[in-house]
Amino acid sequence: MLRLRSCIVSHLLSTPAAFRVTSPHRLLSAAAAPISPSQSQRFAVEEYLVDACGLTRAQALKASTKLSHLKSPANPDAVLAFLAGLGLSGADIAAAVAKDPRLLCARVDRTLASNVVGLTGLGLSGSDVALLATIAGEPFRFKSVVPKLQYYLPLFGSSENFLRALRKSSHLLTSNRDRIVEPNVALLRECGLAACDIAKLCMVVPRILTANPELVREMVACAEALGVPRGSGMFRQALQAVSFKSEEKIAAKAKFLKKIFKWSDAEVSHAVCKAPIVLRKSNSSLQQRSEFFLSEMGLEPAYIAHRPALLSYSMEGRLRPRYYVIKFLKANGLLGQYRDYYNIVMLSDKVFMERFIRPHKKAAPRLAKDYATACKGEVPANFRFT
């Protein structure tokens, strides 16, 4: 009987359109399913998790230890129906249950439905709520989730931005707001970061909001030590570059930059100050750019040190293809007056095409196609220089 019941629930979860409702009251109606005493006596949690919820056997074995008190599938059935009604697919529900097995114990009428009403009242769409249910874990079944989002949404600027950060750090919904989050936000504002800057920083490094405030103060001091003052437009990038990195790792990265680009200490400091994000580049990525700029292009180390933004662009998508185009045009007498490579790299794709590709459509009819091929990481025959 349990397997039959599980098959029915599984079928319902595999067709969420049948549960797509807009009113929490209708969700409650869909979730209300009576269960007979004989069924409750034979309830096997682990089998239910596999057959009805879609968990793997290993996931079910782990999750069942948190649900050993359950004697009946009545409440879990109600929760599954409610989640399906929100628009979650069977795979999404399986992920949500695996992340927080006790979600199956939550009261639909007292908690889940109330939370959905509160969240939609904050402006979250149905798909936003469904995504939150999938990735939030335990906080989704607590009433505190609504006031927490009421605080975060203005900070992040949109539900999309917040959910993007939440994917990276679920601690956003579990950290103490008064003792941890708000002091960190206040410190970031003291550093001159506007709300939009804080949102951009936290979408990349959301842990900076939930870390010990003393640690965040140390990060701020480290960013300042790079030579980037508080209040400058580059301070957000400096904080991002040094976040959760030890002084030893930062020093090692600076030493590596000095070695491969043949920079002096002053040039390393200048480059890091102007483009702190280079500290987060992998050694292999920096090595690749060093070989390209110094060996293949023949640029001077000082030229790169004073234009460190070059290191942040994609090798395949921008740096190499544009160099090939300029070299091709110059070799065929089409470039005219020499143009500075850095200025060419900084152009938008649209402007680059208008200035260096389209004017040569007759003289070099394959240029646009060859450039597009190069941007995919391939080198067309016309661009091969030996």
Question: Is it the case that residue 17 has pLDDT exceeding 80?
Answer: no
Q: Within its chain, how far is the Cα of 140 from the centroid?
A: 20
Q: Which of 94, 142, 89 is nearest to 119 (CA)?
A: 142
> Cα(281)–Cα(287) distance, rounded to whole angstroms?
10
pLDDT of amino acid 1:
45
The DSSP result for 309-335, as a single string, is GGGGS-IIIIIHHHHHHHHHHHHTT-S
CB 187 within 8 A of CB 203: no
Phi-psi region of 59 (alpha: psi -120 to 50; beta: other; left: phi over 0): alpha
Question: Is it the case that residue 99 has pLDDT exceeding 90?
Answer: yes
pLDDT of amino acid 43:
73
Question: Is it the case that residue 277 has pLDDT exceeding 80?
Answer: yes
Q: What pLDDT band is residue 8 in, cutting at 50, 70 and 90?
A: very low
* Terminal Cα-to-Cα distance of the chain (whole angstroms): 75
Question: Is it the case that residue 383 has pLDDT exceeding 80?
Answer: no
pTM, entire model: 0.77
Kindly report, residue by residue over 200-247, the tens digit of the pLDDT.
Answer: 999 999 999 999 999 999 999 999 999 999 998 899 999 999 999 999
Kindly report, residue by residue over 321-377, the tens digit of the pLDDT.
Answer: 999 999 999 988 888 776 799 999 999 999 999 999 999 999 989 999 999 999 988
pLDDT of amino acid 24:
52
Question: Is it the case that residue 10 has pLDDT exceeding 70?
Answer: no
Q: What pLDDT band is residue 23 in, cutting at 50, 70 and 90?
A: low
Continuous H helices in 245-353: 247-261, 265-274, 283-290, 301-305, 320-331, 341-346, 349-352
Residue with the bigger pLDDT between 42 and 115: it is 115
CB 249 within 8 A of CB 228: no
Question: Is it the case that residue 139 has pLDDT exceeding 90?
Answer: yes
pLDDT of amino acid 27:
52
Residue with tokens 């480059």: 271
Residue with the bigger pLDDT between 337 and 130: it is 130
The upper half-sphere exposure of residue 188, i.e. CA atoms within 13 Å in the direction of its Cβ, equals 31
Residue with the bigger pLDDT between 348 and 2: it is 348
Q: Find the range with the poorest average confidence among 27-36, 93-102, 169-178, 368-377.
A: 27-36
Q: Which of 111, 16, 110 is nearest to 54 (CA)?
A: 16
pLDDT of amino acid 4:
44
Average pLDDT rounded to a whole number, residues 250-260: 96
Q: In whole numbers, what is the pLDDT of the chain averaged over residues?
A: 88
Q: What pLDDT band is residue 384 in, cutting at 50, 70 and 90?
A: low
pLDDT of amino acid 21:
38
Average pLDDT rounded to a whole number, residues 154-183: 94
pLDDT of amino acid 297:
94
pLDDT of amino acid 40:
42
Question: Is it the case that residue 5 has pLDDT exceeding 80?
Answer: no
pLDDT of amino acid 355:
92
